[in-house]
Structure 1
Amino acid sequence: MERMSTPGDDDVAALPDVAPRLRELRRRRGLTLEAAAQRADLSPAHLSRLETGGRQPSLPMLLGLARIYGTTVSELLGEMPPEREPVIRAGRAAPHEVDGWTYHQTGASARAMQALRVEVPYGTQRDLVRVHPGEEWLYVLTGRLRLSLGDATHELDPGDSAHFDSLTPHRISAASHGGAEFLFVHTLLQSPDPHPHHPHS
């Protein structure tokens, strides 16, 4: 979806960090380029150019992307956010569904650590192998979860948990026909590792 430049674009163009921040926030939300573009009513090619600095977003685009990524325009522009409320009340934020997975926010947005409650239906296709910086911790609440880490596959029952480096190629899916629900915590910082993993494409 192409558009003509507007005066507001020049203001955004003066902030070179917008492009990588858009990409970081999208990845932090676990959205593919195609999924985020569809929700923002943009073409994947246009969103890709926004994330690489090839085009500058207008204010309406920033508003839409901020809503999708669960943050504010100020955060997208790199401004310091106000002090956040430490308590997340049940039902305060509406759940988000992406490719069949349902995400319930259980922590503040735009933090270095993201906490979510995730529902995974059985048979969904969102179980592609992922590799990215950071650490992940998950705790199974209901159902059975299948976790593939590198060449190993584990089946986790309620009460089981896993903690691993996100640079290890990993895949998560529901192993039980009724689906699975788990708590998920992801950090953007990589833990010290004397034998670092190498990202796979």
Structure 2
Amino acid sequence: MATDLTRVGPRLRAARQQRGWTLADLAGKAGMSISTLSRLEAGRRQASLELLLPLVSVLDLRLDDLVRGEPVDPRVRRATERRHGMVVAPLTLEHSPMQTYKIRYAAASVAPQPKVHDGVEWFYVLSGTIRLLLDGEEHRIGAGEAAEFDTGLPHSISATDDGPAEVVSIFSASGERIHVHGA
């Protein structure tokens, strides 16, 4: 993917404004003149590493955030899969830091064995009832309810034997491996 330097100025301006900073604020923090920063943002000054490195450091950005090429298609086009008795529909791009899925759990009379891992998990029940075993206690969470918990506690998630249940779940990387891939 080729870089597009014409987008550096608007991206720089947006990052500055998002923080509520003036040209003077950012220029002072980055050790450059207001005029240089203004010309960079307006596209009247060629972007160079010498100018951009202090700016990305102060703005807590990656250089790629300013010089990346064409925007990627934001639509999630990942296939729905059947895994371990679940229907799993990805709702985020593959390389997102947090993974979100719509998961349909089949009715189950017995809960899976609890597991532990690093992170925090969150889910919202769209339909049915979810059985959350958490640290030795069973919680039944119905449609319209949500749960958030520390995954360092022994836990398992399943539908009850009343019927299937559908949730939207947000996982950290370790939670995704355990609950979606069954690793």
* Partner Cα distance (1:170, 1:130) in 2: 5
Structure 1 residues 94 and 149, CA, compared in 2 at 3 Å: closer, same or farther? same
Summarize deviations over 1:62-92 as a string: whole Å, max 9, x none.
xxxxxxxxxxxxxxxxxxxx9653333xxx3
1:86 pairs with one of 74, 82, 97 = 74
* Partner Cα distance (2:71, 2:111) in 1: 34
Q: How does 1:118-133 map to 2 (within 5 A)?
A: 118-123=103-108, 127-133=112-118
2:81 equivalent to 1:96? yes
Secondary structure of 1:147's counterpart equals strand
Paired residues of 1:135 and 1:188 also in contact (CA < 8 A): no
Structure 1 residues 166 and 85, CA, compared in 2 at 3 Å: closer, same or farther? farther
Give the CA RMSD over aligned residues: 2.5
Runs of 4+ in structure 1 over 3 Å off = 82-85
Structure 1 residues 101 and 189, CA, compared in 2 at 3 Å: closer, same or farther? closer
Larger Rg: 2
Structure 2 letter corresponding to 1:87 = R
* Partner Cα distance (2:127, 2:174) in 1: 28
TM-score (norm 1): 0.47
How far 1:177 moved relative to its partner? 2.7
2:172 equivalent to 1:187? yes
Equivalent pairs counted in the alignment come to 106
* Partner Cα distance (1:126, 1:176) in 2: 10
Structure 1 letter corresponding to 2:167 = F
Paired residues of 1:143 and 1:176 also in contact (CA < 8 A): no
How far 1:169 moved relative to its partner? 0.9
2:93 equivalent to 1:105? no
Structure 2 letter corresponding to 1:181 = E
How far 1:94 moved relative to its partner? 2.1
2:132 pairs with one of 147, 161, 179 = 147
Paired residues of 1:99 and 1:126 also in contact (CA < 8 A): no
How far 1:179 moved relative to its partner? 0.7
Structure 1 residues 189 and 94, CA, compared in 2 at 3 Å: closer, same or farther? closer
Structure 1 residues 126 and 96, CA, compared in 2 at 3 Å: closer, same or farther? farther
Q: Return the structure number with greater helix share.
A: 2
Alignment correspondent of 1:177: 162
Larger RCO, structure (CA 8 Å, separation 6 or more): 2
Unaligned runs of 5+ in 1: 1-81, 191-201
Summarize deviations over 1:80-135 as a string: whole Å, max 9, x none.
xx9653333xxx33211111111101001122200000000012877221211111
TM-score (norm 2): 0.52
Secondary structure of 1:184's counterpart equals strand
